[in-house]
């Protein structure tokens, strides 16, 4: 897949998603030692960039494929995104969610009219339950990240970002399954060949960093991070793109994630989930790389349980 | 003062303030029964629309007036705004703050390099301390709201808003001292003569509503509201404009403020202070007025102590 896939996705979904704003803050620039531009995908439909990939994937379905709706398993934003995209198309959505998924994320999926199927909180149970749902409903499975339609959709955020913000030296985004990072790398380098693209990952879930360094995709990780959106391992299609288009993956401590999250809340006045703060934490921990540069950060989402803040 | 004062202020300050985004949410529209457009002044410099008025007032000072800096008393956003405006001009700022002002607001004033002078938390003490500061430093006093330069500056938010959002039927903003409401009424009706302009006020600090109904400015109020930005009474210059340009002032309960605040946090993913939620609370409590209309709401600020949320 290539830059063109992103441009076509952008044409396809532009009426279904928000053109999200880019925010700046002098006080954050002072704290981080570089000029920061924040692409606010927390202000996107369903509160996360995931709306882009889901809309692209659902738009691409033929009539027959879409006839019985769509299904996925998700502990978070992808479930709400698919529910939103399905609602726009007027087809049913089935979302398998672990029983311990945050209430705020269950509420979001339900608000868009999807059917929630609860399962035990582990990957085999999720896959088993999803297979059963697909079997019994005939719904089309839309994976959360390991899918070229999803990668292309997620890349549209960076495409907009490059048009909104001139002369970025670096773009940095969080990496979990790798949909956002792969799409961002294709889009940013397609628009501006010499921009550097970094992934940011919790050290406590560093499968992407280890995969990137070794060239072999790590498929198991303990993932004891507060950044719940980044606990998954890198997808296969995602790793192919990331290996060839990303410059490096930086890891961060849990403590830095909390500092970064608080900085964003207090200075940008926006609600970001821990996963979104990981990219800012990477700047905090690796200041030399970013010093004096024009840095674009994609704020990935804002779905957080307000009663359980880490500060 | 008139519409022209707002347009001139906008030209004067446009490089000093952010052009803030307008956000929308289908789920909020469903909850409120109207099409809502949110002008996000919580994403403004210093986290509040107050940056506009302060920049306008400071820009208008002659060399002699500005020579010894500026001073004000403020428990909140105006202090930070004046500090910011003074810093841009390269002059000192002195801010008299009550000793019990929220730490987040003291931090903001300090971050912009102003000198903070603490005083007892009551109006006579504030005015006494301010007089002493002005006397000893020669600084120019810039009032928080009862001032035409301030009103004109605050009105620039609505001027932008009308240009960003077509065909608004109603604009509603919170009212405390009345700088935002007076400026908004001049700007919105200047751009679109038949738009309705409402003020929203906590019932627990309803001096503006009572002033508006009686035609006589009420200058005392107990103000037991959580909306700390709206505890002041209406200014004189503000009341003159409000009497002739505002359509009504709606009051709301404290309970509605909490509901509205939570709705904004969870659905718009932005941090709003209780004062900002008051306009949305007014829609919740007076749904008939707004039903089916295109309603513009100015989100006034986002400076809130994160450790003391009301939910």
User: Both A190 and A303 in a single domain?
Assistant: yes
User: Both B178 and B301 in a single domain?
Assistant: yes
8 Å CB contact between A176 and A232 = yes
User: Both B128 and B66 in a single domain?
Assistant: yes
pLDDT digits (tens, 9 = 90+) for A171-184: 999 999 999 999 99
Q: How far apart are CA A180 and CA A173, in angstroms?
A: 7
CB hemisphere CA count around A66 (13 angstroms): 16
Which residue, A141, A166, A191, sits at the end of a domain? A141
Domain count for chain A:
2
Specify the pLDDT at position A37: 98
Which CATH number goes with the domain that contains B133?
A: 3.40.50.1100
Chain A residues whose beta carbon lies within 8 Å of the beta carbon of residue B303: 269
Mean pLDDT, residues A242-259 taken together: 97
User: Both A182 and A69 in a single domain?
Assistant: no
Specify the pLDDT at position B302: 93
Of A43, A303, A306, the CB nearest to B23: A43
pLDDT digits (tens, 9 = 90+) for B187-208: 999 999 999 999 999 999 999 9
Task: Report residue A211's pLDDT band, with 50, 70 and 90 as the boundaries.
Answer: very high
User: Both B37 and B99 in a single domain?
Assistant: no
Chain B residues whose beta carbon lies within 8 Å of the beta carbon of residue A302: 269
pTM over 0.90: yes
User: Both A167 and A206 in a single domain?
Assistant: yes
Chain A residues whose beta carbon lies within 8 Å of the beta carbon of residue B307: 311
**pLDDT reading at A22 higher than 90:** yes
User: Both A128 and A256 in a single domain?
Assistant: no
Q: How far apart are CA A275 and CA A180, in angstroms?
A: 12
Specify the pLDDT at position B305: 81
Which residue, B123, B141, B159, sits at the end of a domain? B141
Q: How far apart are CA B185 and CA A132, in angstroms?
A: 59
User: Both A78 and A199 in a single domain?
Assistant: no
**pLDDT reading at A232 higher than 80:** yes
DSSP A113: T
Q: How far apart are CA A145 and CA A50, in angstroms?
A: 9
User: Both A212 and A167 in a single domain?
Assistant: yes
User: Both A222 and A301 in a single domain?
Assistant: yes
> What is the count of residue pairs from A and B with beta carbons less than 8 Å apart?
49
Q: Which portions of chain B are predicted below pLDDT 50?
A: none
The alpha-carbon gap from B41 to the nearest alpha carbon of chain A, in Å, equals 10
Q: Does A15 touch chain B (CB under 8 A)?
A: no
Task: Report residue A41's pLDDT band, with 50, 70 and 90 as the boundaries.
Answer: very high
Specify the pLDDT at position A170: 98
User: Both B57 and B41 in a single domain?
Assistant: no
Domain span at residue A75 reads: 51-141
User: Both A174 and A136 in a single domain?
Assistant: no
Which residue, A86, A113, A141, sits at the end of a domain? A141
Token pair of A266 as six digits: 């207090």
Give a three-class secondary structure readout of chain B: CCHHHHHHHHHHHCCCCCCCCEECCHHHHHHHCCEEEEEEHHHCHHHECHHHHHHHHHHHCCHHHHCCCEEEECCCHHHHHHHHHHHHHCCCEEEEEECCCCHHHHHHHHHCCCEEEEECCCHHHHHHHHHHHHHHHCCEECCCCCCHHHHHHHHHHHHHHHHHCCCCCEEEEECCCCHHHHHHHHHHHHHCCCCEEEEEEEHHHCHHHHHHHHCCCCCCCCCCCCCHHHCCCCCHHHHHHHHHHCCEEEEECHHHHHHHHHHHHHHHCECCCHHHHHHHHHHHHCHHHHCCCEEEEEECECCCCHHHCCC
Q: Does B311 touch chain A (CB under 8 A)?
A: yes
């Amino acid at each position: 897949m290539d830059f063109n896939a992103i441009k076509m996705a952008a044409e396809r979904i532009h009426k279904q998603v928000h053109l999200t704003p880019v925010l700046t803050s002098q006080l954050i620039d002072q704290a981080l030692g570089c000029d920061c531009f924040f692409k606010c995908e927390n202000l996107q439909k369903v509160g996360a960039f995931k709306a882009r990939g889901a809309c692209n994937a659902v738009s691409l379905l033929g009539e027959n494929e879409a006839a019985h709706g769509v299904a996925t398993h998700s502990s978070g934003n992808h479930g709400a995104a698919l529910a939103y995209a399905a609602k726009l198309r007027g087809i049913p959505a089935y979302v398998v969610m672990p029983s311990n998924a945050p209430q705020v994320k269950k509420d979001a999926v339900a608000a868009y009219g999807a059917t929630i199927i609860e399962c035990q909180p582990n990957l085999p149970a999720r896959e088993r339950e999803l297979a059963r749902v697909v079997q019994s409903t005939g719904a089309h499975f839309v994976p959360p990240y390991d899918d070229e339609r999803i990668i292309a959709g997620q890349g549209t955020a960076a495409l907009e970002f490059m048009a909104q913000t001139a002369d970025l030296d670096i773009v940095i985004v969080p990496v979990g399954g790798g949909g956002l990072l792969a799409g961002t790398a294709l889009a940013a380098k397609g628009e501006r060949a010499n921009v550097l693209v970094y992934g940011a990952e919790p050290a406590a879930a560093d499968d992407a960093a280890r995969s990137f360094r070794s060239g072999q995709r790590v498929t198991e990780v303990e993932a004891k991070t507060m950044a719940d959106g980044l606990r998954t391992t890198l997808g296969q299609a995602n790793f192919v793109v990331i290996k060839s288009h990303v410059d490096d993956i930086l890891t961060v401590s849990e403590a830095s994630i909390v500092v970064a999250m608080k900085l964003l809340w207090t200075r940008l006045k926006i609600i970001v989930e821990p996963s979104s703060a990981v990219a800012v934490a990477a700047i905090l921990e690796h200041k030399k790389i970013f010093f004096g540069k024009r840095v674009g950060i994609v704020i990935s989402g804002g779905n957080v349980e307000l009663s359980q803040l880490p500060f």
